[in-house]
Amino acid sequence: KSGFLVRKVHADPDGKRTPRGKRGWKTFYAMLKGLVLYLQKDEYRAERELTEEDVKNAVSIHHSLAMRAADYSKRPNVFYLRTADWRVFLFQAPNAEQMQSWITRINVV
């Protein structure tokens, strides 16, 4: 599965609140491959190799949990992703259907 997602980092490893200055929303082209959610910052190019930055931004979804961010009302179609190391991301999908599809795909693996 792949598509555009807008990401906000809410908590760093161990659940520590991400400091101000690092909490802004950023658009990525996301690709779910196996247990890894790759987030490409640059415009998506299917054939290009992963950059160092891509590797840094990749998120392991092993033992992670995705759920609709029912308590977050500033933007629509936002879901939480809580990882095994207790990081928390918010991701905004382009529409409700895409949001649900990402949640389902992340939680099924």
Binding segment (CB under 6 A) for ligand I3P, from list 17-25, 26-34, 43-51, 100-108? 17-25
Which residue's CB atom is positioned nearest to ligand I3P?
24
Q: Considering the complex, state which of residue 24 and residue 34 has its C-beta at the smaller distance from ligand I3P.
A: 24
Hey, is 3 helix, strand or coil?
Answer: strand
Is 71 a residue that touches ligand I3P (CB under 6 A)?
no
Are the C-beta atoms of residues 99 and 68 closer than 8 Å to each other? Answer: yes
Binding segment (CB under 6 A) for ligand I3P, from list 20-28, 36-44, 47-55, 92-100? 20-28
For 5, 25, 41, 56, 83, the CA distances from 28, given in Å and listed in that order, are 6, 10, 5, 13, 18
Is 44 a residue that touches ligand I3P (CB under 6 A)?
no
How far apart CA 106 and CA 23 sit, in angstroms, is 22
Binding site for ligand I3P (CB under 6 A): 20-25, 74
